[in-house]
A and B are shown apart, each in its own frame.
Chain A
Amino acid sequence: MNSFTLTQAAAVDEAVSDFAGHTGAAYLGGGTNLIDLMKENVSRPTHLTSLNHLSALGQIEDLPGGGLRLGALATNADTAWNPEVEVRYPLLSQTILAGATPQLRNMATNGGNLLQRTRCYYFYDLATPCNKREPGTGCSAINGMNRVCGVLGTSESCIATQPSDMCVALAALEAVVRVQGPNGERTIKFEDFHRLPGDQPELDNTLAPGELITAIDLPAQGYAKNFTYLKLRDRASYAFALVSVAVGLEMDGNTIKTARFALGGVAHKPWRDQAAEKMLEGQTASPDLFRQVAAKVFESAIGYGPNSFKIELGKRAIVRALKQATEMDQALDSNAFLNTNP
């Protein structure tokens, strides 16, 4: 780890100006990803603006109109086990609990979860080229060990995936990210928050320099009756998703009124396909329909050899997740983390 200075910000304004006043600064939340990347010398900030004393950002509170605001500094554990989240947004609760470990979830913050970097092996390996880590050096994954890499929305410069579970649910729930920066406050629709690699894979998201996530707003519709987070991985626990699917449905009998779903483990951002969602709406739930939808989602997929299995796995995961969500009689109980294991 290189040398750095550290400031404990006491207020959001102070954090934003402290960041702006230090070249090479980074915001420090729970640190579960950033400190690890600093130990690996992948990230080398020379100043940290610690947000850990911003208790105002640690709240989870009702929004007018029936939504819920998740403070950026609330931990993943406190969010997943928040009674309002468990009852109104069980998809989110279950999805958070499918990721990481209890220790990490007790440290990791909601804002930080959105900002975690890819787990592509080459991003961490300083001895190999990686356009995300060192722009212009090349992508080692395209012709390398890319089993964990993406098959949708990839580019010639990067096939890395966004690793978060939580973000897959937030995409399906159409959350809104609230940020504050040197130019004031703004909101970013979740689908616009993460970006595809294109020719600038070093940029994971659309935050401007110095902008700080202050909260994540959930809309009133939480799809608490018909939902699923299906996570497929190499171990039953504590492993990143090879493919995951978050589904939220509004059903009328066997008819799908509203459908939202997103995929993890397949792209540089949680993957939503709104045309595929529309194919479900107004239709009677059936395996044939689900297979057509799954085929639509992956029609533009490109496999790179070791990761090509994700295309068929992804299709089958969509079919199974939709089937599980349509057949749910009631929300899962509070120990739903066991139900994410297929």
Chain B
Amino acid sequence: MSLHFIQEPLDHTPPAIAPTQPVTLHINGEDHTIQIAPWTSLLDALREYLDLTGTKKGCDHGQCGACTVLMDGKRINSCLALATVYQGKQITTIEGLGGEDDLSPLQQAFIDHDAFQCGYCTPGQICSAQGLINEGRAKTEDEVRELMSGNLCRCGAYTNILSAVMEVLHDGQVVVDNGTLVTIPMQPTQSSSVN
């Protein structure tokens, strides 16, 4: 076989040892300082350095949405984010949205609507749905489908995910920039059609 596809060696030597540096991340309302290399993704910082394993690694290429977290209230793919670049930003993960005893409205709605099967995509789905609600753009089911297209569910729980998101969308919960969940007064809407 021809070896023409083997890449030429770099004409300069990359640094052999990782130049790690202290990085302070503001996550779920608290500062955390960790010693990491510049290539550490925000996803790896959360999971491997801070034990916040609620955020999941799916494709690690920005295609599946399992790693979705909120940055200053906006949803991003943490797998494509270098942690060091996100110093000074307010990061909210699934752990920051709510815990066992204080589930966020979306977490509760996902349970109520049976909006998952294996559960692997769920933290990303919920963070993404929270970002969608914060954006305030999607109102109809078609719009929610379109604006949730960055989160794949291989179990195919989309129908129930949509129901869960629609229910909370109508109750008007938003995450503000410091990561806390507040209720925005909304005009009365009809109650959810799904119990």
Tell me the A residues contacting B by CB distance below 8 Å. 1-6, 8, 23-24, 28, 31-32, 35-36, 38-40, 44, 46, 48, 50, 52, 77, 81, 100-104, 106-107, 126-129, 134, 137-138, 237-238, 334-335, 337-338
Determine the distance from Cα of A238 to Cα of B149 in the docked complex, in whole angstroms: 6
For B138, the chain A residues whose CB sits under 8 A away are: 335
Q: Which of B131-159 contact A (CB under 8 A)?
A: 131-132, 135, 137-139, 142-143, 145-147, 149-150
Query: B50 in the interface, Cβ–Cβ < 8 Å?
Result: no
Q: Which of B103-142 contact A (CB under 8 A)?
A: 128, 131-132, 135, 137-139, 142
Query: B68 in the interface, Cβ–Cβ < 8 Å?
Result: yes
| Interface footprint category on B | 35 or more
For A46, the chain B residues whose CB sits under 8 A away are: 10, 12, 14-15
Q: Tell me if A52 and B5 are in contact (CB < 8 A).
A: no
For A36, the chain B residues whose CB sits under 8 A away are: 61-62, 80
Determine the distance from Cα of A39 to Cα of B85 in the docked complex, in whole angstroms: 17
Determine the distance from Cα of A138 to Cα of B2 in the docked complex, in whole angstroms: 13
Q: Which of B1-38 contact A (CB under 8 A)?
A: 4-5, 7-8, 10, 12, 14-16, 18-19, 37-38
Query: B77 in the interface, Cβ–Cβ < 8 Å?
Result: yes
Q: Tell me if A4 and B38 are in contact (CB < 8 A).
A: yes
Q: Tell me if B75 and A103 are in contact (CB < 8 A).
A: yes
Nearest CB of chain A from residue B76's CB, rounded to whole Å: 5
Determine the distance from Cα of A52 to Cα of B150 in the docked complex, in whole angstroms: 23
For A100, the chain B residues whose CB sits under 8 A away are: 150
For B77, the chain A residues whose CB sits under 8 A away are: 32, 103-104, 107
Taking a contact as CB atoms closer than 8 A, the residue among A52, A104, A127, A129 that contacts B85 in the complex is A52
Determine the distance from Cα of A106 to Cα of B132 in the docked complex, in whole angstroms: 11
Nearest to B147 among chain A residues (CB) is A102
Determine the distance from Cα of A128 to Cα of B135 in the docked complex, in whole angstroms: 42
Q: Tell me if B150 and A103 are in contact (CB < 8 A).
A: yes
Q: Tell me if A8 and B85 are in contact (CB < 8 A).
A: yes
Determine the distance from Cα of A6 to Cα of B18 in the docked complex, in whole angstroms: 11
Query: B60 in the interface, Cβ–Cβ < 8 Å?
Result: yes
Determine the distance from Cα of A20 to Cα of B62 in the docked complex, in whole angstroms: 30
Supply 22 A–B pairs (Cβ within 8 Å), ascending by A. Answer: A5-B15, A23-B12, A28-B85, A32-B80, A35-B81, A35-B82, A48-B82, A81-B135, A101-B65, A102-B128, A104-B80, A104-B150, A106-B71, A106-B131, A107-B80, A128-B5, A134-B5, A134-B7, A137-B5, A238-B149, A335-B143, A337-B146
Determine the distance from Cα of A38 to Cα of B38 in the docked complex, in whole angstroms: 13
For B74, the chain A residues whose CB sits under 8 A away are: 77, 106
For A39, the chain B residues whose CB sits under 8 A away are: 60-61
Nearest to A337 among chain B residues (CB) is B146
For B14, the chain A residues whose CB sits under 8 A away are: 2-4, 24, 46
Apart from A2-B14, A3-B15, A35-B82: 17 A-B pairs, beta carbons within 8 A: A2-B10, A4-B15, A4-B39, A5-B38, A6-B84, A8-B84, A8-B85, A23-B12, A32-B62, A46-B10, A103-B65, A106-B76, A126-B5, A238-B150, A335-B138, A335-B139, A337-B143
Nearest CB of chain B from residue A34's CB, rounded to whole Å: 9
Q: Is the interface of B mostly helix, strand, loop or mixed?
A: loop
Nearest CB of chain B from residue A78's CB, rounded to whole Å: 9
Nearest CB of chain B from residue A24's CB, rounded to whole Å: 6
Nearest to B15 among chain A residues (CB) is A3
For B145, the chain A residues whose CB sits under 8 A away are: 237
For A52, the chain B residues whose CB sits under 8 A away are: 85
Nearest CB of chain A from residue B154's CB, rounded to whole Å: 15
Q: Tell me if A102 and B135 are in contact (CB < 8 A).
A: yes
Nearest CB of chain B from residue A180's CB, rounded to whole Å: 21
For B19, the chain A residues whose CB sits under 8 A away are: 5
Nearest CB of chain B from residue A45's CB, rounded to whole Å: 9
Contacts A107-B77, A128-B5 given; indicate if A6 touches B38 (C-beta within 8 A). yes
Q: Tell me if A129 and B81 are in contact (CB < 8 A).
A: no
Determine the distance from Cα of A50 to Cα of B94 in the docked complex, in whole angstroms: 28
For A106, the chain B residues whose CB sits under 8 A away are: 71, 74-76, 131
Nearest CB of chain A from residue B136's CB, rounded to whole Å: 10
Determine the distance from Cα of A137 to Cα of B6 in the docked complex, in whole angstroms: 10
Nearest to B78 among chain A residues (CB) is A103
Contacts A1-B39, A101-B150 given; indicate if A31 touches B142 (C-beta within 8 A). no
The list of the 3 closest CB pairs from A to B, nearest first, reads A101-B150, A237-B149, A6-B38
Determine the distance from Cα of A24 to Cα of B10 in the docked complex, in whole angstroms: 9
Nearest to A45 among chain B residues (CB) is B14
